Amino acid sequence: METVAQLPKYNLNEEEEKKLILREYRSLLKVIKSKLKPGDKKLVRTAFEMAADAHKTMRRKSGEPYILHPLAVAKICAEEIGLGVRSTICSLLHDTVEDTDITLEDIKREFGEEITRIVDGLTKIANVIDVNASQQAENFKKILLTLTDDPRVILIKLSDRLHNMRTLDSMKREKQLKISSETVYIYAPLAHRMGLYTIKTEMEDLAMKYMEPETYKEIARKLAETRKERTKYINEFIKPIREKLEKANLPAEIYGRPKSIHSIWNKMKKKGVEFEEVYDLFAIRAILDSPTEKEKEDCWKVYSMITDEYNPSPERLRDWLSNPKANGYEALHTTVMGPQGKWVEVQIRTRRMNEIAEKGLAAHWKYKEGTTDESRFDKWFQQIREVITNQEADTIDFLQDFKTSFLAEEIYVYTPKGDVKMLPVGSTALDFAFAIHSAIGVKTIGAKVNHKLVPISHKLHSGDQVEIITSNKQKASEDWLSFVVTSKAKGRIRDALKEEKRKVADEGKYTVQRKLEGMGAHMSQHNLDEIVQWYKLGSNLDLFYQVAVKNIDLKELKEFKVTGDRIEAPKPVKLHTEKHEFLPHHVTGKKDAELVIFGESSDRIVYNLANCCKPIPGDDVFGFVTTGKGLTIHRTNCPNAAKLLANYGHRVVKTKWAKNKEISFLTGIKIIGMDDVGVVNKITNLISGELKINIAALTIEANEGLFKGNIRLYVHDKEELDVLVQSLLKLPGIESVERYDMEDIPT
């Protein structure tokens, strides 16, 4: 779904536009040609004409005709995911019901029940608007229910999102940030889970291009500069392997491919290294032409050849042949020591496995036809269905729970009888207990992992064998919620706690009833509402529970007025205090609050600088309206940014720094270097003496010839900080200088 532009920004005349649309349509037909059965071409044409006519007055933000968007989405579905004719028709129609006069009835009349159901699912998804977070979670549940009915809905939605990401340039900056954050937060993990690695990678890279443009450009530039020497190295690495494959008469394609910019950046952040020190900038891939019955055997043969030639790192072997991932991914991964002492990642798979890796779920189905094996996907969908149907209506944690439960990588854990259970990474013994059965989960008191006794909060690892110990006296406890990660466990624990609360509350209900009757009133809903509101509680259940556990003694009821059998709470005395609510459009007088200029001492807007990322003038930032706290400024690469932008887009204010050298901002840097006499002197002379920057605190620790320094200092803006970092790096013996990104710069 797109926002429609008011004014065209590109200059094709009507005739040229028609030619362009026709060219794109023919290009789509070419892609699905091999899948067309008799009568299909006519249906596709009908869908195209229907969509073209419905969208004829609409334009995209770039100014081009809107119909080019559904055409592009259909092409991604067919070409990059490998979906068929029905999905192509649904892609062409995916925005019609929501944006034009076409109804589901019209679609049903032309194309039948199945296509109507998918388009209906896509229309529901299009309404995932950020009215508020609970509404968003609610809508996301609808998507997931549709996903479990027909996964094509989500595959088309992912194609739609990918095309929007590819054409994000013509959007406003705040829209780019919101869409990119949502993509990274929900859609990329979903693509990964559906097995669409290529699409997931591209989504992450494109999101990074908008969220961290400087870093993105820098890594892209360095990748381009090192392409030549990488190619040379890859060829040198591959040569002996290729010879071995030919000798063994194993037909295979072997090549190197660069890692994505986003994954290189992740590695740099995780390991705290510079681009030049990221060793695996590329992966080597060996793709074998093997018959199905010899696939495993051949992959291990190739593994043996590679490890004969190069030394493997034993802890980096990943065997997804014996135990494929839940999204169907099968392969052998290993990391070996290549020429010039460089570690190289090698992925070994067959043509069939490769197609599943590239096309995910769609390819998985293609190969599943005719087999009786219940697919891992089906199990996954079944788990989602179970959780959604048991979920509370408005739980805001739902999106977060869903991410940790269903979008995380999984581990494989065994029951005492040897049955395998799939759980997300980070699962505990208690998650495992709930995975077996809810009734076992709530009675769990401990577990044996690999025959050793462990607490229920013990984190499990792939390959663990787990036996659950239960007791009929055990009851669910509130603190269980802090260490379980699966949605099923969380949902069941909440249910059990509520049930427990209900039993206790029954006692309180009786007390409230007696009290009301003593006042000459009835236990009516009106009267209960008055009491609940007076004590600022959430529900009748809360009231009864608080009375039962003696947190509320109902003494205040004697101040209530009784009329007939109705009671009325006394009116609270109003204190007159002025409250300034920050609303974005108060700042600029414009409806959409394009800019908030701040940083000047004359500013009247009250704002806080977020502690999680400590922004300073010059950083790429956005404003976030927090309930009760007004405006908080975060950096766009803040650890919390993706969540805030994706879930609460309506509270985001586009923000820009004003030039100002009056105010100093607290920031922090960490320095690593060789421990040398006078090193502290050199550093402080440079900061305070030469650059006249005020140091707030400094700690230096030396260990085995290396020193680590933490410095808190006041700078005017990012420019000043960058100059400082560059100057420090020029000092002899300084290895690295980095700005603190995370919470709480060390004191």
| CATH code where residue 246 lies | 3.30.460.10
Structure tokens at 566: 């109705």
502 in the same domain as 632:
no
- Domain stop point among 366, 395, 421: 366
194 in the same domain as 97:
yes
Its domain, for residue 593, covers 584-657
280 is catalytic: no
- CA atoms of 27 and 18, how far apart (whole Å): 14
Residue 59 is classified by DSSP as: B
Residue environment code for 291-326, b if the CB has 16+ CB neighbours within 10 A, otherwise e:
eeeebbebbebbbebbeeebeeeeeeeebbbeebbb
177 lies in a domain? yes
Q: Are 81 and 196 in contact (CB under 8 A)?
A: yes
- CA atoms of 59 and 66, how far apart (whole Å): 5
373 is catalytic: no
Q: What is the CATH number of the domain that holds 683?
A: 3.30.70.260
What pTM does this model have?
0.62
Q: Cα–Cα–Cα angle for 672, 673, 674, nearest 5°?
A: 150
- CA atoms of 438 and 492, how far apart (whole Å): 7
272 in the same domain as 245:
yes
Residue-level pLDDT at 642: 78
439 lies in a domain? no
Q: What is the CATH number of the domain that holds 134?
A: 1.10.3210.10
Q: Are 309 and 244 in contact (CB under 8 A)?
A: yes
Q: How far is CA 708 from CA 89, 241, 705, 722, 739, in A?
A: 60, 43, 10, 20, 13
- CA atoms of 147 and 130, how far apart (whole Å): 20
442 lies in a domain? no
* Burial (CB count <10 Å: 0-12, 13-18, 19+), residue 597: middle
Structure tokens at 608: 């806080």
393 lies in a domain? no
Q: Which helix (H) or strand (E) holds 140?
A: helix 133-149
Which residues, 6+ apart, have CB-to-CB distance to 683 below 8 Å? 671, 709, 711, 728, 731
330 lies in a domain? yes
Q: Are 631 and 570 in contact (CB under 8 A)?
A: no
127 lies in a domain? yes
- CA atoms of 24 and 628, how far apart (whole Å): 51
Residue-level pLDDT at 593: 41
Residue 58 is classified by DSSP as: -
624 in the same domain as 526:
no
DSSP characters for 625-682? EETTTEEEEEETT-TTHHHHHHH-GGGEEE-EEPP-SS--EEEEEEEEEE--TTHHHH
202 in the same domain as 243:
no
Residue-level pLDDT at 371: 42
- CA atoms of 306 and 353, how far apart (whole Å): 19
Residue 481 is classified by DSSP as: G
227 in the same domain as 196:
no
Q: Are 132 and 22 in contact (CB under 8 A)?
A: no
Packed helices 487-518 and 429-436: angle between N→C axes, nearest 10 degrees = 80
Residue environment code for 673-706, b if the CB has 16+ CB neighbours within 10 A, otherwise e:
beeeeebeebbeebbeeeeebeeeeeeeeeeeee
CA torsion sign, 614 to 618 to 621 to 627? Answer: positive
Helices (H), 150-212: 152-166, 173-182, 188-193, 197-211
- CA atoms of 74 and 88, how far apart (whole Å): 5
- Domain stop point among 184, 213, 242: 213
Structure tokens at 384: 């989602």
SS3 571: coil
543 in the same domain as 638:
no
Question: Which positions of the chain have pLDDT values less than 50?
Answer: 1-9, 128-134, 368-374, 393-396, 573-595, 599-603, 742-747
Which residues, 6+ apart, have CB-to-CB distance to 204 below 8 Å? 184, 188, 260, 262, 263
224 in the same domain as 209:
no
Structure tokens at 532: 């609940």
**Greatest CA separation found in the chain?**
99
132 in the same domain as 18:
yes
Of 40, 79, 98, 150, the active-site residue reads 98
- Domain stop point among 542, 568, 594: 568
Q: Are 373 and 379 in contact (CB under 8 A)?
A: no
Q: How far is CA 578 from CA 573, 575, 581, 632, in A?
A: 16, 10, 10, 21
Residue-level pLDDT at 586: 36
556 in the same domain as 589:
no
Residue-level pLDDT at 610: 83
Of 99, 110, 386, 594, the active-site residue reads 99
Question: How many of the other CB atoms lie within 10 Å of CB of 39?
Answer: 8
Phi-psi category of 599—alpha, beta or left, where left has phi over 0 and alpha has psi -120 to 50? left
- CA atoms of 118 and 146, how far apart (whole Å): 8
Structural domain total, the chain: 5
179 lies in a domain? yes
Phi-psi category of 608—alpha, beta or left, where left has phi over 0 and alpha has psi -120 to 50? beta
2 lies in a domain? no
For residue 177, the number of C-alpha atoms closer than 13 Å in the C-beta half-sphere is 27
SS3 344: strand
SS3 120: helix
Residue 591 is classified by DSSP as: S
Residue-level pLDDT at 384: 64
The number of residues in the chain equals 747
224 in the same domain as 161:
no
22 in the same domain as 52:
yes
